Amino acid sequence: MNTRLLQIAAVVLALIAFNDAFYQVNESDQVIITQFGNPIGTPVTSPGMHFKLPFIQRANRFDKRFLEWDGNPNQVPTRDKRFIWVDTYARWRIVDPLKFFQRLRDERGAQSRLDDILDGEVRNAVARYDLIEIVRSTNRNPEDVPIEAGEERVILEQIKQGRRQIHHEILERAASRMSDLGIELLDIRLKRINYVEEVQKDVFARMIAERQRIAELFRSEGEGESARIRGERERELKRIQSEAYRTAEELRGKADAQATDIYAEAHGRDADFYAFTKSLETYEKSIDPKTFFILSTDSELLKFIQRPR
Amino acid sequence: MREDVIDFDRLGRRIPPVSPRLIGIVLAAIAVLAVLFSTFYQVQPEAVGVVMRFGKFVRTSEPGLHAKVPFVERVQKVPVQRQLKHEFGFRTEEAAVRTRYSESDFAAESVMLTGDLNVAVVEWIVQYRVSDPYKFLFKVRNLDDTFRAMTEAVMREVVGDRTVTEVLTVGRQEIETRVVEQLQALVTQYEMGVTVDQVVLQDVNPPDPVKPSWDAVNQAQQQRDRLINEARAEYNKVVPRAKGEAEQAILQAQGYALDRVNRAQGDSARFKSLYEAYRKAPEVTRRRMHLETMERVLPLVGGKLFLDKDAKGILPLFSFDKLQGTVPGVPRGGGDQ
């Protein structure tokens, strides 16, 4: 009975030992073997099943992948004394698990170290630059910037460094401080930038004022343009009417002259006879029943009333 | 209430005695089933299976039914064909004919600074696909959060280079393409194994407190257009008519000219003919014409008075209104008829 119990215990122990001797390394893992807390050998990075001494050695797993770091939103003043909320993120990975294990023990320790280093570097960088440098990344050709309603030409200020440069600067400074931690910093970026409440109010007020200015511009543009069109209408009207008048009068004048020429040419043959015939015509036209004639018997017509010859 | 009381004793007694043989068969069946389930696996048409042996990546499998070594190999399925989507500034709660959106505020995601240091509220979506299942699974931890953070950073970088007007109006298309470009570059750098398909801007607005003033600008713009249109309408109402009237005046003048010249030619022709005849016997013709005219004219005359050439001072004999009657156009002078 006793030996049987011992046998069972031995088998169970062997099973436990066997189970502890093998450990699985996943694609995303890297492992450091420690013996009584001391790291042994080189880190295991190839995935698959691996062997270690049971109980004596321990497998410490570290992630091989890019890991996240999400900064706390921070209220930071820029160089031009504007208070902004800055929210950052970074990507990093454990490149030297041994160093990492020695210096930071685990990811929790790493996160808090990253907090210290990255928050500080971000704060420094933001304080070193004007807000515009943090918001903008390139100097665009002013020609490419659409301009609204005859606004002034350069809306975008010129920048010297820009956001990308600042990212780069933070990355470089932070990475140099991390090299002895077994960490590689892949990237750090400003995720969000926002005005703090009080500044935001001012900015909104400015935006409103800007809009009002543009609205006024549109209105006066409309009034100006419509006045111009009305003026043009007036001018066109006068031009058309006067041109027509001129042409008409020219035509009339020419016709009158031509008629005069024709008459003169015809009547010139005998002006006296013309006067005579025209007078006769005029009599015929002007005499009507209301006319009262006083005729002297001496006249051409009546001279025969008194004497036949 | 008596029915609710369960009599465990009686329940227990009802279970029939089980032979060890039966237990053995059941266990064997379970074992076989477990092996079968662990051996065969199905990959959906939109996915790809990633097979790992003791955690080590060994192969990928295409859609269909596949077998693997049971218990030793594990499969993780990655939907490579499916288009994945992230929403920024809003969340679709239930996609349907009338899609419902979450009521919560995602302003932190959507409020951003523009290049002229104004503020815009930008909502957008990113569509992407898994292009490399291996990288997708093993290169980046917490891929979704990383991807979101990257997208926000890139969007802000692009918007930060543009004026608020550009962001809100004409620049949308360009922002979308620029974000896709930069995001794709970043995704490649981070070895995430995804491909960015497209970025689509949704609602892009000025911040709420500023909105009314933007509307005012729109209004002013329309007012401008209206004023200009009205002026044009007035112009169009008057000018073409004036053109027509001008043409009318010219045509009338042309008519006058024709009339005048033709008449002159007619008159002169007549005069010439008359003159030719007259020339042959001027004195007689002259007298005849005179007398003939008198003959036609005199009967028409209302009042006549023949007066000897020596008679003098007869004028006072006429009453005043009779004389007046001789003035044409005065209606009351008709007494001599």
| Same-domain pairing of A50 and A140 | no
Residues A47 and A91 in one domain: no
CA-CA distance, B106 to B89, in Å (whole number)? 5
pLDDT digits 0-9 by tens, A255-300: 999 999 998 888 888 888 888 888 888 888 888 777 777 777 777 6
Whether the complex's predicted ipTM is more than 0.90 is answered with no
What's the mean pLDDT in A173-193? 90
Q: What is the pLDDT of residue B329?
A: 40
**B134, B230: one domain:** no
Q: Does A89 touch chain B (CB under 8 A)?
A: yes
- Note whether A233 contacts B52, CB cutoff 8 Å: no
Q: Smallest Cβ distance to B278: which of A68, A240, A273?
A: A273
Residue recorded with tokens 């007298």: B287
Cα angle A36, A40, A44; round to 5? 120
CB–CB contact B326 A291 (8 Å): yes
* Residue B311 banded pLDDT, cuts 50, 70, 90: low
- Supply the mean pLDDT for chain B: 84
Closest CA to A191 of B52, B232, B148: B148
Vertex A176 angle, CA A175 and A181, to 5°: 80
Residue A245 has its nearest CB partner, among B163, B249, B275, at B249
B323 has a pLDDT exceeding 60: no
Q: Tens digit of pLDDT for each residue in B88-125?
A: 998 888 777 777 787 777 888 899 999 888 899 999 99
Average pLDDT (A198-206) is: 90
Q: Is the pLDDT of residue B199 over 50?
A: yes
User: Is the pLDDT at B82 greater than 50, yes or no?
Assistant: yes
Number of domains making up chain B: 4
Q: How far is B3 from chain A (nearest CA, A)?
A: 49
The shortest C-alpha distance from B122 to chain A (Å) reads 13
Query: Among A177, A195, A213, where does a domain finish?
Result: A195
Residue A192 predicted with pLDDT over 80? yes
What is the per-residue pLDDT for A291? 76
Chain A residue with minimum CA distance to B301: A289
pLDDT at position B5 is 54
DSSP secondary structure, B32-74, as one string: HHHHHHHHEEEE-TT-EEEEEETTEEEEEE-SEEEE--TTTEE
pLDDT for the residue numbered A3: 85
User: Same domain, yes or no, for B190 and B93?
Assistant: yes
In a domain, A36, yes or no: yes
pLDDT of residue B321: 54
| pLDDT band at residue B335 under the 50/70/90 scheme | very low
% of chain A exceeding 70 in pLDDT? 94
User: What is the mean pLDDT of the segment spanning A86-113?
Assistant: 90
Q: How confident is the model at residue B332 (pLDDT cuts 50, 70, 90)?
A: very low
Structure tokens at A17: 């030992």
| φ/ψ of residue A91, rounded to 5 | -120, 135
A15 and A93, same domain (yes or no): no
The closest CB to that of A48, out of B54, B165, B287, belongs to B54
Give A29→chain B minimum CA distance, Å. 9
DSSP E strands, chain A: 22-25, 29-35, 38-44, 48-51, 57-63, 67-70, 74-77, 83-94, 183-195, 292-296
Q: Which residue, B182, B206, B230, sits at the end of a domain?
A: B206
**Shortest alpha-carbon distance between residue A99 and chain B (Å):** 21
Nearest CA in chain B to A68: B146
Residue of B261, B258, B257 lying closest to B269 (CA atoms):
B261
Together in a domain, B48 and B155: no
Please state which of the ranges A29-43, B10-24, B51-65 shows the lowest mean pLDDT.
B10-24
Q: Say if residue A25 is in the same domain as residue A85.
A: no
Would A234 be classed as within a structural domain?
Answer: no
Cα dihedral across residues A212, A218, A222, A225: positive or negative = positive
Rounded CA-CA distance B203/A286 in Å is 91
In this prediction, residue A210 carries a pLDDT of 86
In this structure, is residue A226 part of a structural domain? no
Considering its fold, how many domains does chain A have in total? 2
Report yes or no: A81 and A26 within 8 Å, Cβ to Cβ.
no
Residues B201 and B235 in one domain: no
Residues A158, A135 share a domain: yes
Chain B's closest residue to A253, CA to CA, is B257
Give me the pLDDT at residue B262, please.
Answer: 93
Last-in-domain residue among A63, A88, A113: A63
State which residues form the domain around B243.
211-300
pLDDT at B258 over 90: yes
What angle, 0 to 180 degrees and rounded to 10, lies between the N-to-C axes of helices B143-159 and B172-189?
Answer: 140
- To the nearest whole Å, the CA of A157 is away from the closest chain B CA by 8
Among A279-293, B65-79, B266-280, where is mean pLDDT lowest? Answer: A279-293
Secondary structure (DSSP) of A179-204: GGGTEEEEEEEEEEEEE-HHHHHHHH
- Alpha carbon of A63: minimum distance to chain B alpha carbons (Å): 8
pLDDT at A142: 67
| A78-101 average pLDDT score | 91
Structural domain that includes position A35: 2-63
Ramachandran region of residue A31, left (φ > 0), alpha (ψ -120 to 50) or beta? beta
| A110 inside domain | yes
Digit-coded pLDDT (tens) for A230-261? 999 999 999 999 999 999 999 999 999 999 99
pLDDT at B245 over 60: yes
* Residue A79 and residue A143 share a domain: yes
pLDDT of B10 reads 56
Output the pLDDT for position A243. Answer: 94
| One domain for residues A75 and A45 | no
Cβ atoms A78, A130 nearer than 8 A: yes
Q: Is residue B317 pLDDT above 70, yes or no? A: no
Residue A111's CATH number: 3.30.479.30
Kindly state the percentage of chain A with pLDDT values over 90.
42
Domain-ending residue, one of B48, B78, B108 = B78
Select from B173, B206, B239 the last residue of a domain: B206
Chain A hits for B258, CB-CB cut-off 8 Å, are 255
Residue of A nearest to B210 (CA): A208
In this predicted structure, the answer to whether residue B157 has a pLDDT above a threshold of 60 is yes
Is there a single domain that holds both residue A86 and residue A190? yes
Q: How confident is the model at residue B21 (pLDDT cuts 50, 70, 90)?
A: confident
Closest CA to B73 of B92, B87, B60, B86: B60
Chain A residues lying within 8 Å of B137, measured CB to CB: 27-28
At residue A154, φ and ψ (nearest 5 deg) are: -90, 105
Nearest residue of B to residue A164, measured between CA atoms = B157
Same domain, B266 and B217: yes
Q: Which among A152, A174, A195 is the end of a domain?
A: A195
pLDDT, chain A, mean: 87
Q: Show residues of chain A in contact with B289, CB under 8 Å.
A: 276-277, 280
CATH of the domain at B180: 3.30.479.30
Asked whether the beta carbons of residue A200 and residue B119 sit closer than 8 angstroms, the reply is: yes
The torsion region of residue B17 among left (phi > 0), alpha (psi -120 to 50) and beta comes to beta
pLDDT at A87 over 90: yes
Name the residue of chain A whose CA is nearest to B326's CA.
Answer: A291
Residues of chain A with C-beta less than 8 angstroms from the C-beta of B164: 207
pLDDT of residue B327: 44
